[in-house]
Amino acid sequence: MNFELDAVFIEDSERETALARRIAAAVQDRAPIENVADGRVPARAIAGADSFSAGKRRMVVMRRRTPFVMSCPAGSARFACCGYLVMVLASNCPMDCSYCFLQEFVADNPGFQIYSNFADAFEELERIAHRAPDRHFRIGTGELADSLAFDTMTGLSRELIAYFAEREKLTLELKTKTDEIGNLLDSDPRGRVLVSWTLSPEKVWRTSEHRTAPPAARIDAARRVLEAGYRVAFHFDPVIAYVDAEREYAELLDHLFEVIAPEKIAFFSIGGLRMTPGLRAAARRRWPRDPMLLDEHVLADDGRLRTFTPLRLKLYRIIADRFERAGVKVPGYLCMEAASVHERVFGAAPASPATIGERLARERERF
């Protein structure tokens, strides 16, 4: 996809890295390039009408000064978590979903940061694998950024796939709302790379997922990477309760299964719309006419505003039911929900986060 950039900043010490060179070559006719001593400076918010939007168009190629790999920041003892590890290779995103938590999470540092020393993450992964030689881990890059936005320019996926293809117990998950899969189709994942798409009904895409690929294009991209040897998974997150939601989520699932046989899907996840009061205020300020943000929400005991529980569970059940009725057991989990909610949706208590993480990471494992 062709995202707009106003400027690219490259840290002086990183100018000769392969990543900086690739980006400089790719953007030379699209945006001015400036060298800076410290990338953290242009990454900061600039006073103005919408510094978050401006940050999305200001790419900063810089060293990451803190660890790359961590437990999922959404994890909590309150929730039945999925044991996901996050590898932060970039921060912020050129797309602009009205509900995106980054509007609050990176408000002070909204520049689109890409970390040129990303290969240091591989050493962290080696240490994790060494400490727990019997375990499998699922590691995703799509938490503070979309995994594939700008991949045509950065070529990062090629280097990640080459690394993970050689690691039996480490599974990479590339999570995206794009159809930017060109580099994936040229690589051999050896069954150790998952590509997952977040899916919403067409109406949510039109009102709220700005500059993302349409849902049908995401599903078609999934079909193509599946044929190229990748595992595929889908996230229905955030599920939003709007007037036609019940019918339209069911239709989305029907379309998905027409294109991709359910038994080919590695797993799915479901999560509800959830916003801290600060995020909801920021989102409504930026998107005052977005109908998906205007419903009444209940302040839950985790401090987030959520859809009224019976309504949200009804939508979760519609999605889970569609998978159950498909006739094969596709693993599913809930994101940022309590074990009691998991039980009401799936009819059984969730396994421990480590067990779920292990199962999702393993090739073709069913549970």
Residues that bind ligand SF4 (CB under 6 A): 93, 95-97, 100, 102, 146, 177, 212
- Whose Cβ is closer to ligand SF4: residue 14's or residue 146's? 146
Name the residue nearer to ligand SF4 (CB basis): 97 or 282: 97
167 or 177, CB closer to ligand SF4? Answer: 177
Q: Please, which residue, 144 or 170, has the CB nearer to ligand SF4?
A: 144
Phi, psi of 322 (to 5 degrees): -60, -40
Q: For residues 113 and 212, which CB has a smaller minimum distance to ligand SF4 in the complex?
A: 212
CB of 98 to ligand SF4, least distance (A): 9
Task: Output 177 or 322, the one with its CB closest to ligand SF4.
Answer: 177
Task: For residue 98, count CB atoms less than 10 angstroms from its CB and return exposed for 0-12, middle for 13-18, buried for 19 or more.
Answer: buried
Shortest distance (Å) from residue 89 CB to ligand SF4: 13
Contacts of 162-166 with CB under 8 Å at 24 or more apart are: 162/187, 163/122, 164/189, 164/192, 164/193, 165/189, 165/190, 165/192, 165/193, 166/190
| 3-class DSSP assignment, residue 299 | strand
Kindly state the smallest distance separating residue 93's Cβ from ligand SF4, in Å: 3
Nearest-approach distance from CB 117 to ligand SF4, in angstroms: 22
SS3 217: helix
Considering the complex, state which of residue 95 and residue 204 has its C-beta at the smaller distance from ligand SF4: 95
In the complex, the smallest distance separating the C-beta of residue 97 from ligand SF4, rounded to whole angstroms, is: 3
| CB within 8 Å of 350: residues ≥ 6 apart | 80, 333, 334, 339, 342, 343, 356
Shortest CB 88 distance to ligand SF4, Å: 12
Task: Please name the residue that has the structure tokens 């993480």.
Answer: 357
Instruction: Pick between residue 170 and residue 199 the one whose CB is nearest to ligand SF4.
Output: 199
What are the DSSP E strand ranges found in 112-245? 112-115, 137-140, 170-176, 193-198, 209-210, 231-239
Nearest approach, Cβ of 201 to ligand SF4 (angstroms)? Answer: 15
Distances (CA, A) of 145 to 22, 88, 113: 19, 8, 9
Measured from the CB atom, is 170 or 273 closer to ligand SF4?
A: 273
CB of 348 to ligand SF4, least distance (A): 30
Q: Which structure tokens are listed for 84?
A: 């996901």
- In this structure, what is the dihedral angle of CA atoms 78, 356, 115, 174, given to the nearest 10 degrees? -120
Neighbours of 108 (CB within 10 A): 12
Shortest Å distance, C-beta 271 to ligand SF4:
12
Q: Which residues contact 72 (CB under 8 A, 6 or more apart)?
A: 81, 82, 84, 85, 86, 143
Torsional class of 363: left (φ above 0), alpha (ψ -120 to 50), beta (otherwise): beta
Specify the pairing of strand 7-11 against strand 58-62. parallel
